[in-house]
């Protein structure tokens, strides 16, 4: 005796719509899988089928139906006979039978003789995640992500040797407001680099890191001595000797990311000896 028949039929419809949409043939994306389809046979009798779809390829129309039975026991040969009888006056339609618990031996033999495809369509089970040798397959991946904070400069001083001072300019970069200034450029001729104060902080060109006696959130100090470098601002140049930087590195942010495969349903093809898995987001993968 069947139970929740309509719910099961809609379940099968949903899985096959996903499988067809994911097919390799582009035309399949336009196929609509219908539920509770009524068709007139060659004798003019209206026949009802649980699942139905059709498509046209190279001028030829192909039709398929699925008879769904949510039984608590295996399908008998009599049920296969009943489907064969319904299809007798619809010779161009491909017949498929779907159930949850499998088929008796006589039903399998009768279906094979009459070109009826047999499926077991169900929810996933634990052994779906094992290979033929009983080894577990990967279903869930847990990733511990750590986002490292870039150094945050709180104070920057530029030092100039007395003999290099240009008295026409006043130099004062000791305030945090100047730290991320795009207009102030460091031209390091010795190392053949040029970057703004902003790039130096954001891209960590100053090689700022934690010191042994410091921790996250503490003030760190770094002095950078240049062999041959200049600062440039608004077209004005000045040779510099040293940068003294005070900075903070904030504690990294940790987050656990779980990537898990959620299976909506499984389709077992008895004669082809393969399975199709449909995920909750409509993706499909197959396994022998």
pTM attached to this predicted model: 0.63
Strand partners of residue 38:
48
Confidence (pLDDT) at 181: 55
pLDDT band, very low/low/confident/very high, at 2 (cuts 50, 70, 90): very low
Least confident of 35-49, 88-102, 223-237, 242-256: 223-237
**26 has pLDDT over 90:** no
Q: Are 279 and 126 in contact (CB under 8 A)?
A: no
Percent pLDDT > 90 in the chain is 36
Least confident of 100-109, 174-183, 240-249: 174-183
**17 has pLDDT over 50:** yes
**What is the average pLDDT across 151-171?**
70
Confidence (pLDDT) at 174: 41
Confidence (pLDDT) at 212: 67
């Amino acid at each position: 005796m069947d139970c929740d028949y309509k719910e099961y039929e809609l379940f099968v419809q949903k899985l096959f719509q996903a499988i067809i949409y994911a097919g390799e043939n582009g035309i399949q994306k336009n196929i609509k899988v219908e539920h509770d389809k009524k068709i007139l046979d060659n004798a003019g009798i209206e026949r009802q089928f649980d699942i139905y779809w059709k498509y046209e390829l190279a001028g030829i129309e192909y039709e398929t139906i699925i008879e769904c039975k949510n039984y608590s026991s295996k399908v008998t040969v009599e049920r296969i006979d009943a489907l064969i009888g319904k299809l007798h006056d619809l010779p161009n339609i491909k017949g498929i039978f779907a159930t949850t618990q499998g088929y008796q031996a006589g039903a399998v033999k009768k279906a094979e003789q009459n070109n009826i495809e047999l499926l077991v369509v169900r929810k996933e089970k634990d052994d779906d995640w094992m290979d033929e040798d009983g080894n577990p397959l990967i279903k869930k991946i847990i990733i511990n992500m750590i986002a490292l904070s870039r150094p945050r400069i709180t104070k920057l001083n530029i030092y100039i040797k007395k003999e290099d001072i240009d008295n026409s300019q006043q130099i004062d970069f000791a305030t945090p407001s100047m730290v991320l200034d795009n207009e102030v450029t460091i031209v390091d001729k010795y190392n053949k680099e040029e970057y703004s104060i902003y790039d130096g902080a954001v891209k960590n060109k100053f090689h700022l890191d934690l010191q042994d006696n410091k921790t996250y959130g503490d003030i760190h100090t770094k002095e950078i001595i240049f062999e041959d470098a200049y600062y440039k601002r608004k077209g004005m140049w000045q040779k510099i000797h040293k940068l003294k930087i005070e900075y903070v590195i904030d504690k990294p942010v940790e987050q656990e990311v779980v990537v898990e495969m959620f299976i909506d349903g499984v389709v077992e093809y008895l004669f082809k000896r393969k399975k199709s898995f449909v995920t909750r987001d409509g993706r499909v993968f197959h396994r022998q």
